[in-house]
Structure 1
Amino acid sequence: MKAVRQWLFAAEAVNDKKSIVDEPDVYPVHSLDRMAEYQKFVATVMYFNDALDADMLNASLVKLLETGDWKKLGGRLKKDVNGRLQLHVPPRFSAEQPAVAYTHECLTEMKISDHPVAKSLPTHTHVPSLQPLPERGALRTLQVRPDFPASLDDLMAEDLPPLSLHVHTFQDATVVGLSWPHLLMDGVGRSALMKSWSLVMAGQEDKVPPVAGAHHDVLSGLPAGASDQDEFFANKGLLRGVRLAKVLLYWGWAKLAGPGKVIRSMYLPKEIYDMLVGGIKEQVSQVQGQTGTKRYISESDAITAWVTRQVALSEPRPRPVTIMSLFNGRYALKQHLNPDAVYLQNMVLINYTTLSAEEARDAVAPLALACKAQLSEQTSESRALGFIQWISKRVDKTKHTVPLCGGEDSVLLCCNSLIRADLIRETRFAPAVLRAGEAAETRRNPAGSMINFFYGLPNEPTQFINGFNILGKDHSGGTWFAGNLAPQVWEALEYEVKQLGEGKSSS
């Protein structure tokens, strides 16, 4: 352990020497990364029930960013003569030009339970639980430093590194805030970052995978995909012009007049989660046996259908529902990507599931099958390629690139599943543990691993549309969720899982 610490901090000290090379290494910002929707900051809060060495966290992250094309993440955002964004990596990271904007709040005289904000972070429970998150402004103090840039323009004007590491160390816990402009990477890229950061921290730099496509966008050289993307969006009810204006006006009125959405986290222990997902899959099998259809329903499919149904049932009158779900293109384009490399870029695609009021309020099994039927078409290689190429043609021409689909009267639900990214279990910070926090007899996770994480947009107001995220599984097999839903939806979900706990599923 001592050798690892000396190696990390010695490497950091070398960075303070002046470089004799003046020219930066310039990386392009790829086409999907240039989407207007990605020119916002993402910030995550990771909760560890151990006291970690904050300086070691920073030193190992810096060391990673000195490895091959991982240094792209330390580049300064600039614009070229055509106004396109680029990342300019300093010849050598130094105190004047650090790889990471690092700040540390050392609060080791207090326990996390005594901190006015961190004490409210959700934690695992032995029974299903709905837990509030700290208010947005309070949570921001754990995500980012007080002088965090308000926009990309501020980041560029101050010539700051895009990655920000903001650590609070307590007597018995550590809260790690990590933020970056969304244009740097998506959730799968972040998972690779966490895994590689952990490897460097453990002195296993030789196991860090190389970064592919840093200088050349792998998505730009792919074969042609579906050519009917405009027609496809039209069939999904693409909103534009007067129809889009009506929807935006309706949303504005609903925000002012209707009941507000509430941000909550939800934790389901493994037994309850397995009962919920297993029960839905069993119902799906029964329906498929009656209809002769065969379609695979994943955990995420089952949970999305379950939540969608409760959102639909919570409306005062039956309304159609549009599910806007995120899908990582890496999974559809495997044969075009290097399986042994990391792609630090955005490959997230958007799928639209349009449901009638009757379909959205149906039993959960037919609903899951109806959703899957629409998703299967959109996650094919041809359709994924078509979507990428459709976006790429428009990314530098329009203010908002992401199309919005659905009926004018539809309820919109945005869903995202990070189960496959496995962010909680891929993060292993054991080498940085200074003191164990939670006692061995009560803890359910290995030393240096996180309890959970939550993410959001630190500079943006809370969204007023329905949103639900499956964050992933923890080390005990339980599953974490977070969302922005109406109070009555949360109450319905809570009731359902409590019924499961009592062996009385009401689905």
Structure 2
Amino acid sequence: MGISWSSTRQTAPPVVPSDTVIPVHFWDNSCPGRSMVIFDLFRFDDVLDAGKLKTSLSKLLDRPGWRKLGARIRLNKNGNYDYHIPAYFDEERVPFAFHCEALDININEHPRASRFRRDPNADTPRIQCHEADWIDLMWQPGDPKGIGDYLYSDRPILGFRMITFVDATLLTISWPHMVFDTMGHAAFLRAWLLVLNGRDDEVPEFHGYESDPLGALGSQPVERYKYADKQFGTWHVIILGLRYAWDRLWDPKAEDGGRTIFVPAAYAQQLCETARSELKALQTKGEVSFISEGDIICAWWAQQLALALIPKPSNQEVGLYNVYGLRGRLGQDLLPSSRAYVGNAFCSAPAFMTVKDILTRPLGLIAAAVRQSYMDLSTRDQLEAAMSLARTAQDKGGAALFGSPWMHWITCSNWTKAGLFDMDFSGALTQRLGEGDHKAGKPTYIQIHAFQKSMLVSSFVVMGKDAEGNIWLYGHLKEKCWAAVNKILEDAVTR
């Protein structure tokens, strides 16, 4: 997703003997974690105090366990990643990067930041923001774009950029995916906000400081993975690589780009009612009887992508990969809910169908396929089986892939359970100046961006629901594809 990068510094700084060195956990060292840097922007219709944010964050990162988030990332002599945690933080080796700037205008006077809000006139889904709208408000020269920017500097793993307006605040947080996933991000935010809001005694214990709670996950499977027969072999990987090479050769100037999609609450509610009515009318005994809002949004966006990118019905396979978190599944033993696991703990449940299925089947049945895949593959035994295959592939330097090398890939990651729109920064308020009846100190808009080179994949994230129930998506496609998607969204009300 986003802009490609290349590091200009290839020599790592000298090792500091007093640093505590801890190996990066096994699953944090996966392919997505190694390659991606994530930026997460929050808009507040209030003015926040940078000093209060920095002081509370410093207090959190000075606590046992939580100090790990002030680490630096290094490669060891075996080519594996380690965390180097300073014995103490000072002005030369800060626990986090924090940049502040103030603009003496209202946010709605800014040509791009003014777009970080709900469109009051929108009654159907629409593209709200383009990558060009947000990128220089989140990222600035010198900020990281890839893991090399951490390896070849003494940069801390957490970065913050704060822009204040007369009546609003933009706060961007950046980190390499290697450090934590979305739910880990949420666990970090909740701990920080407990300190910010004067509830230090409620900060949970940091889980997995030195030991790896998921180190044995997938090492002893007891059953065969449902899609083991669809796992890629050598020739499948070669075909996929040739597809990618041909794609780049045929269109070498093609660029990837992100967009934010706004789905009004009333429209989302109607989607859910329609899908559930279709399922009730068409299901048979023993099939899926419940579909969640997340299932429906995932299925709906897959339909929009199919209509825009592959509008001709065919038997070409589509792999709809739905990413889900493991904390709930492993809460009884490996990841107890009483502790904060600030790392990566996720898997994906692929649902395989054809282009024809997506274009011709009712929305409710596509959502049911997404739900059925999750039900089948998220059991503990199937999870262990999937992670066993992933472990073997990762040990060989690759990833476990399933399906056809000729298929169209769509990935969905739903962040709604992270509750990012409910994060309470009220402890940092200077005064409430924003308009509207929002809850003071809570974000009214969220924007994400990830620097990663994509590969034949259409990906999107459900960033969550705002206070009014509107749903926000972040999609990533080739730039030339967005015009077709935009046309599909404009026509959505008539379909």
TM-score, normalising length from structure 1? 0.84
Is residue 454 of structure 1 aligned with residue 447 of structure 2? Answer: yes
Among 345, 348, 367, which residue is 2:346 paired with?
348
Deviation of 1:33 after TM superposition, in Å, equals 0.8
Deviation of 1:97 after TM superposition, in Å, equals 1.3
Cα distance in structure 2, aligned partners of 1:152 and 1:304: 30
Deviation of 1:369 after TM superposition, in Å, equals 2.1
Deviation of 1:114 after TM superposition, in Å, equals 2.9
Among 424, 437, 453, which residue is 2:421 paired with?
424
Cα distance in structure 2, aligned partners of 1:195 and 1:143: 22
Cα distance in structure 1, aligned partners of 2:373 and 2:131: 36
Work out which structure has the larger RCO, using CA pairs closer than 8 Å and 6 or more positions apart in sequence.
2
Is residue 185 of structure 1 aligned with residue 180 of structure 2? Answer: yes
Alpha-carbon spacing, 1:37–1:49, altered in 2? closer, same or farther (3 Å):
same
Cα distance in structure 1, aligned partners of 2:368 and 2:18: 55
Choose between structure 1 and 2: higher helix proportion: 1
Cα distance in structure 2, aligned partners of 1:148 and 1:325: 30
Any stretches of 5+ residues in structure 2 without a counterpart? 1-15
Cα distance in structure 1, aligned partners of 2:446 and 2:312: 35
Is residue 333 of structure 1 aligned with residue 330 of structure 2? Answer: yes
- Residue of structure 1 in register with 2:3 after alignment: none
- Residue of structure 2 in register with 1:482 after alignment: 474
Cα distance in structure 1, aligned partners of 2:305 and 2:139: 32
Is residue 309 of structure 1 aligned with residue 303 of structure 2? Answer: yes
Cα distance in structure 2, aligned partners of 1:23 and 1:227: 46
Alpha-carbon spacing, 1:135–1:292, altered in 2? closer, same or farther (3 Å):
closer
Is residue 133 of structure 1 aligned with residue 133 of structure 2? Answer: no
Is residue 86 of structure 1 aligned with residue 82 of structure 2? Answer: yes
Cα distance in structure 2, aligned partners of 1:77 and 1:293: 48
- Residue of structure 2 in register with 1:7 after alignment: none
What SS class does the counterpart of residue 417 from structure 2 fall into?
Answer: coil
Deviation of 1:87 after TM superposition, in Å, equals 1.2
Q: Indicate conservation of the 8 Å contact 2:244/2:456, yes or no.
A: no
Deviation of 1:124 after TM superposition, in Å, equals 5.1
Residues 487-506 of structure 1 mapped to structure 2, 5 A cutoff = 487-496=483-492, 498=493, 506=495
Summarize deviations over 1:471-503 as a string: whole Å, max 9, x none: 11112222211213543334334433x45xxxx
Deviation of 1:218 after TM superposition, in Å, equals 1.1
Q: Indicate conservation of the 8 Å contact 1:144/1:165, yes or no.
A: no
Deviation of 1:396 after TM superposition, in Å, equals 4.6
- Residue of structure 2 in register with 1:146 after alignment: 141
Cα distance in structure 1, aligned partners of 2:119 and 2:138: 20
Q: Indicate conservation of the 8 Å contact 1:46/1:453, yes or no.
A: yes
- Residue of structure 2 in register with 1:169 after alignment: 164
Among 392, 409, 412, which residue is 1:412 paired with?
409
Cα distance in structure 2, aligned partners of 1:354 and 1:226: 24
Summarize deviations over 1:231-255 as a string: whole Å, max 9, x none: 8343266673432234324543675
Cα distance in structure 1, aligned partners of 2:156 and 2:399: 27
Cα distance in structure 1, aligned partners of 2:347 and 2:61: 27
Summarize deviations over 1:184-205 as a string: whole Å, max 9, x none: 0000000111111111111111
Letter of the structure 2 residue corresponding to residue 324 of structure 1 = Y
- Residue of structure 1 in register with 2:6 after alignment: none
- Residue of structure 1 in register with 2:318 after alignment: 321
Residues 104-253 of structure 1 mapped to structure 2, 5 A cutoff = 104-107=100-103, 109-123=104-118, 125=120, 127-128=122-123, 129-136=125-132, 139-222=134-217, 224-226=220-222, 228-229=224-225, 232-235=227-230, 240-252=236-248
Q: Indicate conservation of the 8 Å contact 1:214/1:343, yes or no.
A: no
Summarize deviations over 1:337-360 as a string: whole Å, max 9, x none: 211111111112122221123322
Deviation of 1:22 after TM superposition, in Å, equals 7.2
Q: Indicate conservation of the 8 Å contact 1:74/1:89, yes or no.
A: yes
What SS class does the counterpart of residue 184 from structure 1 fall into?
Answer: coil
Identify the range of structure 1 (386-395 vs 331-340) with the bigger mean alpha-carbon deviation: 386-395
Summarize deviations over 1:413-448 as a string: whole Å, max 9, x none: 1211111111111x1111212232322xxx242011
Summarize deviations over 1:320-351 as a string: whole Å, max 9, x none: 32112212122332222211111111112122
Is residue 284 of structure 1 aligned with residue 279 of structure 2? Answer: yes
Summarize deviations over 1:155-202 as a string: whole Å, max 9, x none: 233212110011111111111111011110000000111111111111
Deviation of 1:59 after TM superposition, in Å, equals 1.9
What SS class does the counterpart of residue 406 from structure 1 fall into?
Answer: coil
- Residue of structure 2 in register with 1:379 after alignment: 378
Alpha-carbon spacing, 1:124–1:429, altered in 2? closer, same or farther (3 Å):
farther
Cα distance in structure 1, aligned partners of 2:77 and 2:405: 41
- Residue of structure 1 in register with 2:261 after alignment: 266
Q: Indicate conservation of the 8 Å contact 1:54/1:169, yes or no.
A: no
Cα distance in structure 1, aligned partners of 2:388 and 2:375: 19
Alpha-carbon spacing, 1:405–1:256, altered in 2? closer, same or farther (3 Å):
farther
Identify the range of structure 1 (168-177 vs 155-164) with the bigger mean alpha-carbon deviation: 155-164
Cα distance in structure 2, aligned partners of 1:56 and 1:348: 33
TM-score, normalising length from structure 2? 0.86
What SS class does the counterpart of residue 327 from structure 2 fall into?
Answer: helix
Deviation of 1:110 after TM superposition, in Å, equals 1.3
Cα distance in structure 1, aligned partners of 2:121 and 2:285: 39
Deviation of 1:449 after TM superposition, in Å, equals 0.8
Alpha-carbon spacing, 1:126–1:132, altered in 2? closer, same or farther (3 Å):
closer
Q: Indicate conservation of the 8 Å contact 2:278/2:362, yes or no.
A: no
Alpha-carbon spacing, 1:450–1:368, altered in 2? closer, same or farther (3 Å):
same
What SS class does the counterpart of residue 178 from structure 2 fall into?
Answer: helix
Letter of the structure 2 residue corresponding to residue 325 of structure 1 = N
Cα distance in structure 1, aligned partners of 2:28 and 2:374: 24
Alpha-carbon spacing, 1:80–1:261, altered in 2? closer, same or farther (3 Å):
closer
- Residue of structure 1 in register with 2:37 after alignment: 41
Q: Indicate conservation of the 8 Å contact 1:270/1:477, yes or no.
A: yes
What SS class does the counterpart of residue 224 from structure 1 fall into?
Answer: coil
- Residue of structure 1 in register with 2:465 after alignment: 473
Q: Indicate conservation of the 8 Å contact 1:22/1:91, yes or no.
A: no
Matched residues, percent identical? 25
Letter of the structure 2 residue corresponding to residue 378 of structure 1 = L
Summarize deviations over 1:373-410 as a string: whole Å, max 9, x none: 23322211112122223333443531xx3334333442
Deviation of 1:372 after TM superposition, in Å, equals 2.6
- Residue of structure 2 in register with 1:14 after alignment: none
Identify the range of structure 1 (83-92 vs 139-148) with the bigger mean alpha-carbon deviation: 139-148
Alpha-carbon spacing, 1:267–1:462, altered in 2? closer, same or farther (3 Å):
same
Q: Indicate conservation of the 8 Å contact 1:172/1:435, yes or no.
A: no
What SS class does the counterpart of residue 342 from structure 1 fall into?
Answer: strand
Letter of the structure 2 residue corresponding to residue 307 of structure 1 = W
